[in-house]
A and B are shown apart, each in its own frame.
Chain A
Amino acid sequence: MSEHEYVPKSKIGKWFNDRLPLLSLASHLTDYPTPKNLNYWWTFGGILTFCLLTQIITGVVLAMHYVAHADLAFASVEHIMRDVNYGWLIRYIHSNGASMFFLAVYIHIFRALFYGSYKSPREVIWIIGLAIYLLMMAAAFMGYVLPWGQMSFWGATVITNLFSAIPLVGDSITTWLWGAYSVDNPTLNRFFSLHYLIPFLILGLVVLHIWALHIPGNNNPVGIDIKKPSKDTVPFHPYITIKDTFALLLFMIIFAGFVFFAPNVLGHSDNYIQANPMVTPAHIVPEWYLLPFYAILRSVPDKLGGVILMFGAIFILFVLPWLDTSKVRSAVFRPIYRQFFWILVVDVLMLGYMGAMPAEGIYLVLARVGTIYYFLHFIVILPVVGYLEKTEPVPLSISEPVLGGTADYSMAKKDNEKI
């Protein structure tokens, strides 16, 4: 790629670049040839970077005021909300930021599923992405414990108890995680430490994720490789940066809507009651972004089985590139897979809904159906459809479908004349 040819103009620049090629890197990043047909679903990578940085910055700030002690944590959060200058703003950005982060990551993941971005040669990008997603869940879960409200405490209790399902060593592991004989002050302390650590691990993985992306280059809505870079691609800057910025601003409007006008709507009211080890809230629910997995967990009547299935629901995604047998990447040209894709989306949303409902009656039945379908999709449907499906003709190059419409061409010309 272009960084090999890059030579800084100034002497100092060249001197420095020979020793540490930061300028070459910057040049590579700005000139990075990006398919010009990327649609708005591709802007979520940039949005996610924004989310991560927002969480890190607000998190570092909150840690300046937060006290990780079972007796003081709840009060310190109230202190942030009431006394710290702009504390309420920073905390609400951080707490809603977690939700926005997951909203964006789910869109990002489903975009990859739709356009086949996980397929060869992009398997490693996909796997690093899943590792990031796992770390995000860990960070979010531990972060939710920190305010030390009722949901914090009981969420921590329920999730850490998952590990007790492991045969023989389960109880020892749970006790080890707690550092006590229940979720208690040592647990809170270590969760705070890890909650502070994980975002930086994520940051490191993000670098790898982007690095791995820049080897084969971006996938694109038609899912074919770039034939002629000069025709099929645009430099990342300014074309993609400006588009990402625009999408980010729209995203930020929604984000701001939550922060300023409904800051608690995504949380649970019980978390404004201080943790009480003697009383469990009537209805324990995890944060919305974990609900589908919670539904899978509860749909199995066996403790260990539920835990295995829940983790399996995530780990099955790691082998997805090898479960999908289709040669065609983008679902745009896969009429059958396209249908199943939307069924999967509905299935996951339904599981999310069931995860929020009490595990009884029709809810439990539907959760079970949803769980079975989820695994069916990956283990059976995906490999079989890949073999049987008659795909639609794939265009020869990216430019072809884009240039196909003459209307676009004339519009562009008109705009040029204006200038």
Chain B
Amino acid sequence: MKKFKFLFYIFFLLNIIYPLKSAEQIDPIKVDWSFKGLLGKFDRSSLQRGFQVYKEVCASCHSMQYLSYRNLGEPGGPEFSEEEVKAIASTFEVTDGPNDQGEMFTRPGRPSDKFVNPYPNVKAAAAANGGAYPPDMSVLVKARKGGANYIYSVLVGYEDPPAGVTLDEGVYYNKYMIGNKIKMPNNLSDGLVDYSDGTEATVDQMAKDVTTFLSWAAEPELESRHKTGVKVILYLTLLSILVFLSMKRIWSRVNSKI
């Protein structure tokens, strides 16, 4: 019977570990993100820099349709000031309407507006990018096995293809991408953006910052989730102890094990 219990545990563990492992591709680089762990929080300045990278590099092809500019100022995110959020929003041209003449018009963005899409629709986005739709980045980190580590790894994983691998026009080799072929060119190069806080814009730094930003975009509730979670578990533990003691008292009236 012990044997079977042992096997039971083995399979139980396998069932848990399974989602973390994958057959064909190499494991993504493990980064020690500040937002991992029970008390993990985002690094504000990294989020702000990440937004800059997103805005200057990614946003020309990738949409982020579930975010609004106001999110940039909300607690737990990049926490730009109200004025900064308004200034950021107003740099975008938003289509609104119809007006009283029945026509659509454009106006500067407001904090309540959703992030403006670079293309009018998915087909237009695909057509402009060699047939591959640049995925919406709102929940991209949650939508990829490996999450933030995977996104970061792909961003820094561009290499010359190994001997014997031929690539079509507009296809690039990436060590970490599933299938190793990616239609997004390597868009990051040292010094590409000019960080306003003076951080040196290396490829690695930009990849980390933008991944941090995308992780927040996918899980804007992360910080309050962690905070609430710690409180809830402490509370439940306390109550369990109290109930356990009460139970001992009550059951002491009968001669029985609990």
A residues neighboring B (CB under 8 Å): 36-37, 75, 78-79, 81-82, 88-89, 92, 234, 238-239, 242-243, 245-246, 249-250, 252-253, 256-257, 259-261, 263-265, 269-270, 272-274, 282, 288, 338-339, 342-343, 345-346, 349-350, 352-353, 356, 358, 402-403, 408-409, 412, 415-416, 419
Contact = CB atoms under 8 A, between A and B. Distances in A.
A414 to B, nearest CB: 9
A339 B15 CA distance: 22
B144 A345 contact: no
Given A242-B246, A265-B19, A349-B15, A78 B8 contact: no
Interface residues of B, number: 56
A246 B4 contact: no
Contact of B142 (A261, A272, A288): A272
Contact of A81 (B136, B221, B258): B221
Contacts of A238: 250
Contacts, number: 134
Contacts of B250: 238-239, 242
16 contacts: A78-B139, A82-B67, A239-B254, A243-B258, A253-B240, A257-B229, A260-B229, A263-B225, A272-B142, A338-B1, A402-B256, A408-B256, A412-B252, A412-B255, A415-B248, A416-B252
Contact of B8 (A257, A261, A345): A345
A256 B229 contact: yes
Contacts of B237: 253
B14 A249 contact: no
A253 B233 contact: yes
The 4 closest A-B pairs by CB, nearest first: A260-B229, A342-B4, A272-B143, A349-B11
Interface string B4-22: 1101100110110011000
Interface in B208-226: 218, 220-221, 225-226
Contact of B229 (A261, A358, A403): A261
Contact of A242 (B4, B247, B254): B247
Nearest to B12: A349
Interface string B238-258: 011001101111111111111
Nearest to A265: B19
Contacts of B218: 272
Contact of B236 (A253, A269, A350, A409): A253
Interface in B172-204: 178
Greatest chain B CB density within 10 A among A88, A269, A403 is at A269
Contacts of A339: 1, 4
